[in-house]
Structure 1
Amino acid sequence: MLTLSWNIRGLGRVEKRRVVRNLVITHRPTFLFIQESKLDSINNKVFSSIEGMWLSRGMGVDEVGTAGGLIYIWNDDLAIAKSCISNNNCLIIAGKLVSLAK
């Protein structure tokens, strides 16, 4: 299991999304956390531009004021999300690793 976490300070530019996608393709993490996305709308286009066909599920919190936005993406074959709580400053996802879920 590998986790990548990055305070990216803005994910709006295609070049930055490409760098994140290349990291995902190269390292194949189970979890990817991105802080300070600076995106006012986190949608499927954002997820698909960085998930690299390895990460399959995601949740996000849009930027609000000085709170810069959060993105959490994971490989659904390796981890199962059961519930999610989010607000402007926090994203909490509870779940299980597939190997421990049996």
Structure 2
Amino acid sequence: MDLKPGSRWKSAVCEAQLVVVRPPNVAGELQCGGAAVVPIDEAGAPTGAIDPGFADGVAIGKRYVDEASGLEVLGAKAGTGSLAFNGAAMSIKGAKPLPASD
């Protein structure tokens, strides 16, 4: 799986779509709903069941990160499956604090 910046992916088990913002620094597999994601241009509708452990959902416009690998993706379309990299759940990236204006 070649997770290049700007590459677009979709879930194989729900309607979620993703854009890679920062690639991982190690090889691995991006997953949504417990199944590997597929390239956005691959034909076919989502099929299969979502793993209950990965059913928190993907929100549109939110950035998701995997701290261990440095992977960062953007939710381009919402879905019911949640994201993981090599089986480890990804978290929503928090906002950067603004500098103090003294």
TM-score range for the pair, normalised by the shorter chain length: under 0.3
TM-score normalized with structure 2 length: 0.27
Larger Rg: 2
Structure number having the greater helix percentage:
1
With a CA cutoff of 8 Å and minimum separation of 6, indicate the structure with the bigger relative contact order.
Answer: 2
